[in-house]
Amino acid sequence: MTDRSDLKAPVLRGAGPHDAAACAAIYAPFVADTIVSFETEAPDAAEMASRIAANAATHGWLVAEVGGELAGYAYGAPHRARQAYASSCDVTVYVDPRFARQGIGRALYGALLPALKARGLHAAFAGIALPNVGSVGLHEAMGFVPVGIYREVGWKLGAWRDVGWWQRVL
C-alpha cells in the first residue's frame, strides 16, 4: 500500500470563469485519448467558461485544489429537458491523472451530492462509458447503484461503446 501521509487534503470551492482554462486542460485528454467522454472535440476555455456558468447557476460546479493547483472538478446538470425530470440530474467528475487515487473525486462528490439535495433535487444519475473500473468503483463507493446499460450507444476510437447508468437517490 502506498504511503499517503504526504498527501494534502483538497480545498473545495465553487467554480468560476477563472477556472475554465484549468478545467478544459483536465478534460481535454479524456476527450482526445479515451472513451471516458463521448465528445470528440475538446472544448476550449471559452466554451468551458460557458458550461461552468450554466451548470453552476442551476446545479453547481465545484473544483478541488491541491497545493494551489486545480486537481479536479465535479458538477451537476439537467438529466433531461422535459419538466417531469426537473428533480433529477446528471453528475460528472473529472480528476487530473496526476491527482488520481488521492480521494479527490470522493471529496468532490461528498460536497456536490448534498448541495444538489439542498437545491431540491431528488436523484442523481451518472453515465459511465464502459469499461471504466475506476469510475464504477467511485460511484458505487458514493452510494450509486447500477440501473442499466445502453449497448453500443456511441462510436469512439474506432469501436462501438457501451454506457452504463448508475443512480443515487439523494
pLDDT tens for each residue of 130-168:
999 999 999 999 999 999 999 999 999 999 999 999 999
- Going by C-alpha positions, the residue among 54, 107, 58 that lies closest to residue 85 is 58
Q: Quote the cell numbers at residue 135.
A: 469510475
The CATH class, in words, for 11-169 is alpha beta
pLDDT in tens, 121-131: 999 999 999 99
Residue 89 backbone phi and psi in degrees, to 5: -145, 160
pLDDT at position 6: 53
Helices (H) and strands (E) in the chain, counts: 4, 7
| Domain boundaries along the sequence of the chain | 11-169
Q: Which of 162, 116, 120 is nearest to 143 (CA)?
A: 116
Percent of the chain with pLDDT over 90: 95
Global pTM value = 0.94
Phi, psi of 99 (to 5 degrees): -115, 10
